Each structure stands twice: as structure tokens, then as C-alpha cells.
Amino acid sequence: MEQVSISGSPGQSLKMHWVGAEDFMVEVGVPGFSGQVTASVFHVGSPARFFRWMADHWRGWQGEARWEDLEEHVRFTGAMDSLGHVSLRVRLLDSTFTHSLDVVLNVDAGQLEGISRSVSAMFTDGEPRTPSP
């Protein structure tokens, strides 16, 4: 799979796609805001394990689950309330470490397995698949 698309509440989206051997673009959009930044799997592995962990714990967990790339350009944070609603917070930080965008996508616990499968299809054991020419 070359691209992952995740939809939250109406108008909320998260997209990821490869832009290099270890780099992938993360795009996020919510009504009134959007942004994109390049992240890397270098040293920290892919976010696939983060999404897999949330899917494995779809009945709930305490605190927050978290993944971020080495230079902190992208951070994913997941939290669940007692009703099974998952808040997927996406923080993007620009390459100058000056500007950031912090948005929350609202997804249901029942979506986590499908999201995890989509993300895992893009990433293999924390490493990128060979990008298409």
C-alpha cells in the first residue's frame, strides 16, 4: 500500500505516504486547519506498532499511547474515554522547529483494527517498503 488515509469525525483526515527510502509525508486536516510535514522511520521505527497496540487494546487503556519520529516532527498520541471514543492527537512540527499544528481526530474503537491493518500494509517491521518508481 502506497498511502494510508484515516478519517475521523466529519472533515477530519490523516494521510501518510512515502517520499523517500526512510521518509514519509504526514498530512492532517480538520475544518479550518491543515498541515503536512515529513517524518522518518530512522532509528525509531514506524508508527505501525503504535496503531497495532491501540487496536490490541480496543476495549480501553489508561493514559496515553505515543509515537514520534526522532526529530519530533510528527507525534501521534492516542487516548480512549470510557465510552470507547479514541482521541488521536497529531502534532506536526516544521523543519525549523518554530511552528506547530496540533489537531485531534476522533475515531471509534471499532475503527482501530482497520486503521492498524492499513498502517501495517504501508510499513513492514518498522521499515519502509521499497517505494514505487
Domain ranges, ordered by start, for the chain = 3-128
Helices (H), 1-133: 48-56, 112-122
Burial class (CB in 10 A: 0-12, 13-18, 19+), 41: buried
Taken as a whole, the chain contains a residue count of 133
Give, for all 133 residues of the chain, the pLDDT tens digit: 578 999 999 999 999 999 988 999 999 999 999 999 999 999 999 999 999 999 999 999 999 999 999 999 999 999 999 888 999 999 999 999 999 999 999 999 999 999 999 999 998 744 444 444 4
pTM: 0.90
Q: Are 119 and 107 in contact (CB under 8 A)?
A: no
Q: How many CB atoms are located within 10 Å of the residue 3 CB? A: 14
| CATH class assigned to 3-128 | mainly beta
How many helices (H) and strands (E) are present in the chain, helices listed first? 2, 10
